[in-house]
């Protein structure tokens, strides 16, 4: 069975999640904020663990970024 990336809303309390995300970045420099994001990506990718799902996530995320913007 191949796992698929769940792109449907799946967070029980999205407002609380957003508040947690914003609060986590409070009082950080841009460099520190980027480091926090990188660490979160690695921690959550490790939790997901499925390389196929991670490839799908990277492809979707990359498709939604405009180079040079």
Question: Is the pTM for the entire model greater than 0.75?
Answer: yes
pLDDT tens-place values along the chain, 69 residues long: 578 999 999 999 999 999 999 999 999 999 999 999 999 999 999 999 999 999 999 999 999 998 886
Please, is 44 exposed, middle or buried when counting C-beta atoms within 10 Å of its C-beta (0-12, 13-18, 19+)? exposed
pLDDT, residue 69, reads 66
Helix axes 51-63, 30-48, angle to 10 degrees: 140
| Residue 32 confidence (pLDDT) | 98
Report pLDDT for 3. 87
User: Residue 56: which of 1, 8, 5, 3 has the closest Cα?
Assistant: 5
**Domain boundaries, given as residue ranges, for the chain:** 29-69
């Amino acid at each position: 069975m191949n796992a698929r990336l769940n792109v449907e809303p799946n967070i029980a309390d999205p407002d609380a999640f957003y508040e947690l995300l914003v609060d986590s970045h409070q009082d950080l420099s841009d460099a520190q904020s980027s480091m926090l994001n990188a660490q979160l990506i690695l921690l959550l990718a490790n939790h997901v663990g499925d390389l196929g799902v991670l490839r799908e996530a990277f492809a979707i995320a990359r498709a939604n970024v405009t180079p040079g913007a």
